[in-house]
């Protein structure tokens, strides 16, 4: 990508102002992120290793799960390759199926290749009209599905609020212990995020009910929250992918382990609201 930028600098910078020039560079780079897998796809004869995808929502431990799976010497698991926000500035991938085939061609003959995708990212792809149909076709083409869920909707919503407020989404073992600050929770924002999670929990269940193939479920609270569960969880997935077992480790750690009354300034207000509106007791964390 650096070579591409350098090639157009001499020509591009003479005819465009800085803003338009930067936009041109970004568009070319974004195009290449799609173009390279498309070229690879044309030469793809089919992967010789197992392929899989992690299907779920954000703030459910997907980054941790990818880190654990990549401990296996025969796995190459990427992140949100269909995510408009991080991969393609202008929005949609032109040919999602061909794009995935190209990504598979890049890695699938050396590793068991996987990626993660959020249900709302699939909704945003204009070329994917029916998510259940898309996932069924993925299964028919040999992709295995790992469904990742987080059951506690309050914790799920608060994870978003904490991350957005503190601008801290992950924590790493090589960093000093991080002490999360107390924050004041906006009740309207909390409600919005809870409704968002409820909506997509329901949609996920509808999609999974229409799958014709099998899938494996990983639950954040049961399988990822406690580090002592990581090996058992990974081993279960390795078995599902028909891979030999392997020891796993991660550079990630939980951002904080405080109780909510230590993290929320208006804890009593939030507690009363959750009990009255959702019949949820937030004392348990």
Q: What is the pLDDT of residues 179-200, one digit of tens each?
A: 788 999 999 999 999 999 999 9
The pLDDT assigned to 48 comes to: 63
Give the residue extent of every domain in the chain: 1-43, 45-151+189-256
Dist CA 37 CA 31 (whole Å) = 11
Helices (H), 141-253: 153-166, 187-209, 230-240
* 11 pLDDT higher than 80: no
* 117 pLDDT higher than 70: yes
Between 120 and 257, where is the model more confident?
A: 120
> Strands, E, within the chain: which ranges?
51-56, 75-77, 112-118, 143-149, 171-172, 216-219, 252-253
Homologous superfamily of domain range 45-151+189-256: P-loop containing nucleotide triphosphate hydrolases (3.40.50.300)
User: How many alpha carbons lie under 13 Å from residue 236 in its C-beta half-sphere?
Assistant: 14
* 209 pLDDT higher than 90: yes
Helices (H) and strands (E) in the chain, counts: 12, 7
Range picked from 23-32, 77-86, 178-187, 263-272 for highest mean pLDDT? 263-272
The pLDDT assigned to 256 comes to: 79
- Residue 31 pLDDT class (50, 70, 90 cuts): low
For the stretch 141-161, pLDDT in tens is: 899 999 999 999 999 999 999
- The answer to which of 164-168, 215-219, 266-270 has the lowest mean pLDDT is 164-168
Tell me the mean pLDDT in the region 242-253. Answer: 94
Tell me the mean pLDDT in the region 1-15. Answer: 52
The pLDDT assigned to 258 comes to: 85
CB count within 10 Å of CB 205 equals 12
- For residue 264, give the DSSP letter: B
């Amino acid at each position: 990508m650096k070579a591409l930028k350098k090639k157009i600098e001499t020509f591009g910078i003479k005819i465009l102002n800085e803003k338009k020039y930067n936009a041109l560079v970004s568009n070319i780079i974004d195009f290449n992120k799609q173009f390279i897998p498309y070229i690879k796809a044309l030469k793809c004869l089919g992967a010789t290793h197992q392929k899989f995808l992690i299907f779920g929502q954000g703030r459910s431990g997907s980054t941790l799960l990818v880190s654990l799976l990549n401990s296996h010497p025969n796995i190459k698991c990427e992140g949100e390759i269909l995510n408009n926000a991080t991969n393609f500035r202008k929005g949609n991938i032109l040919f999602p199926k061909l794009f995935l085939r190209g990504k598979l061609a890049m890695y699938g003959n050396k590793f068991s290749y996987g990626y993660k995708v959020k249900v709302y990212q699939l909704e945003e792809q204009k070329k994917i009209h029916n998510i259940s149909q898309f996932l069924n076709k993925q299964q028919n083409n040999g992709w295995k599905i790992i469904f990742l869920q987080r059951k506690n909707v309050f914790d799920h919503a608060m994870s978003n609020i904490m991350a957005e407020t503190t601008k801290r989404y992950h924590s790493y073992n090589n960093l000093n212990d991080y002490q999360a600050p107390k924050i004041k929770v906006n009740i309207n924002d909390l409600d919005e995020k809870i409704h968002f999670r409820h909506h997509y929990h329901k949609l996920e269940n509808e999609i999974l009910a229409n799958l014709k193939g099998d899938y494996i479920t990983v639950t954040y609270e049961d399988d990822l929250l406690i580090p002592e569960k990581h090996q058992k969880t990974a081993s279960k997935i390795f078995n599902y992918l028909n891979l030999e077992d392997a020891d796993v480790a991660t550079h990630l750690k939980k951002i904080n382990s405080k109780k909510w009354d230590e993290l929320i300034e208006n804890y009593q207000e939030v507690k009363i609201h959750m009990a009255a509106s959702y019949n949820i007791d937030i004392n348990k964390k």
